Amino acid sequence: MSESKAKKGKMTVEEAGRMGGEKTSETHGEEFYSEIGHKGGQKVKRLIEEGKEHEEE
């Protein structure tokens, strides 16, 4: 972080995202990421299936 940003107490979006990700990792652990990854994959699968059904109409 540059000195001017440190003096103003501001952080970049990148820094905020990194800090938030680290905090989430500390509080939730690996199982949390595994679960949300599975949920995301199931959502994508469902959306693909719905898209295929819609094409057939």
Distance, CA of 6 to CA of 14 (rounded, Å): 15
User: What pLDDT is stored for residue 2 in this prediction?
Assistant: 53
Using one digit for the tens of pLDDT, what is the confidence trace for 2-56? 555 555 789 999 999 999 999 999 999 889 999 999 999 999 999 999 999 888 7
Tokens coding 2: 């540059």
pLDDT of residue 9: 80
Predicted local distance difference test score (pLDDT) of residue 22: 94
